[in-house]
Amino acid sequence: MLNQHISYQTFLEQQKQSRHKLTLYTLVDGLEYERLFRNELIQDKNILPLFIRPNNKEVAFAGPWLIDIMQVDKNVQNSLLQLEKTYSSVTWLISILRLDYLFNQLENQLHLRLPDKRNALLRYYDPRVLNNLQNVLTADQFKLFTLNINDWLYFHNNHYYSLIRGKL
């Protein structure tokens, strides 16, 4: 149940301390979701695919999806909790941003331009990548990357971590 999950408990604690309204989101790897449940995520006002550019729109089902977890039904919530324990493919974000603003921020951060002018995809929605992100980014890059994100939790190697605070 979501209300017993570490991300929800963290969200409640941070909401008590914040002057601003916070929201709990999940970022989900659509391919792993489809692999486990044999069903694709379906876009609606609370479930948005981040692959929206012409070069990746056709595979949106397999890319990252941003979900306003408190606005979806319990079946979706429970499926994401199950997915998190089965595959390394769910992260939890606490933010002051509305869904559409966080969506824009995250979608822009997916796409990188390498020094040799090639394009690359930053798979930050994968906990295995997220776990090493602080070692890859400079302090300024990390600050920009986590702008307006109060916390970013993920399950990796049988432990919960906060991108901001480390191992929980």
In a domain, 163, yes or no: no
In a domain, 110, yes or no: yes
Half-sphere exposure at residue 111, Cβ-oriented, CA atoms within 13 angstroms: 14
pLDDT at 60 over 90: no
For residue 151, what are the β-bridge partners?
Answer: 94
For residue 111, what are the β-bridge partners?
Answer: 121
pLDDT at 54 over 80: no
**pLDDT tens, residue by residue, 20-32:** 999 999 999 999 9
Q: Give the per-residue pLDDT at 61.
A: 81
Q: How confident is the model at residue 157 (pLDDT cuts 50, 70, 90)?
A: very high
Q: Find the distance separating the first CA and the last CA of the chain, reported in whole Å.
A: 19
**What is the count of structural domains for the chain?**
1
Which structural domain, as residue segments, surrounds residue 19? 2-152
